[in-house]
Amino acid sequence: MSENITSTDEHKQQMQEQQQQVRAKIAQAKTRRGIIIYLYGNGKGKSSSAFGTLIRSIGHGKRGAVVQFIKGKWKTGEQAIFRQLGVEHLVMGTGFTWDTQDREQDIAAAEAVWNQAAPLFRDPAYDLIVLDEITYMFKYGYLSIAAVSEVLQARPAQQNVMITGRDPIPELLEIADTISEVKEIRHAFNHGIKAQKGIEY
Ligand code: ATP
Ligand code: MG
């Protein structure tokens, strides 16, 4: 038998210690409030994680909203489901900035969707709001991070927000409660594999 394999008694003792540590941590978490979750990075899985969380939330009878920046020209699978689930869905709808190539039009579209979204952050009926791909708006200077941050911080106490986008925006890193970096290890597209319906969009 290898030295790494613990005996049944040792295993039991280790698990009991671990259980005590976990229970102590659970006992320490006493605050109940909504959080900001920020998912950034160059790997695949940010938006789909946000939508997965939204599905989880709706499964518990909670109310959700999705605000999508950049995207909008493709018919995504999630858009159809949002409609079916009664999720409020706001879309900038201009497509990628490298396709529009029109700064003024992009700024007007960004401001228009943000003006529609801002009231959601004053409405306690919304339990989870996803701001998908909003980091591009700050990167290109289409929206003011200070103004958005102020609205987010003044939101109802129990409201949760999920923010996705590739860039680590310092002001968002400062106000987020949970932050994950999704790092590309490999992506099929970079090996010549076409984007698939139901997987990428
Ligand atoms: P998903 O929506 O699949 O969760 P994401 O939100 O993490 O992806 P984005 O940066 O928003 O990623 O990119 C959106 C699209 O680009 C998705 O179709 C995704 O599969 C694809 N994509 C994500 N990361 C990469 C990458 N590293 N290389 C090529 N394509 C990528
Ligand atoms: Mg995304």
Q: Whose CA is nearest to atom 18 of ligand 1?
A: 200
pLDDT, tens digit, 9 for 90 and up, residues 31-69 = 899 999 999 999 999 999 999 999 999 999 999 999 999
List, as one string, the DSSP characters of 38-94.
EEESSSS-HHHHHHHHHHHHHHTT--EEEEESS--SS--HHHHHHHHHT-EEEE--S
Q: Whose CA is nearest to atom 27 of ligand 1?
A: 43
Rounded average pLDDT over 128-154: 97
Q: What percent of the chain has pLDDT over 70?
A: 92
pLDDT, tens digit, 9 for 90 and up, residues 153-197 = 999 999 999 999 999 999 999 999 999 999 999 999 999 999 899
- DSSP symbol at 195: P
Ligand 1: which of 37, 42, 44 to mutate, judged by most atoms within 8 Å of the beta carbon?
A: 44
Alpha helices (runs of H) in the chain, residue ranges in sequence order: 8-28, 46-59, 77-85, 97-100, 103-117, 135-139, 145-153, 170-175
Calculate how far, in angstroms, residue 199's C-alpha sits from the geometric centre of ligand 2. Answer: 12
Confidence label for 100 from pLDDT (cuts 50, 70 and 90): low
User: Which pTM does this prediction carry?
Assistant: 0.89
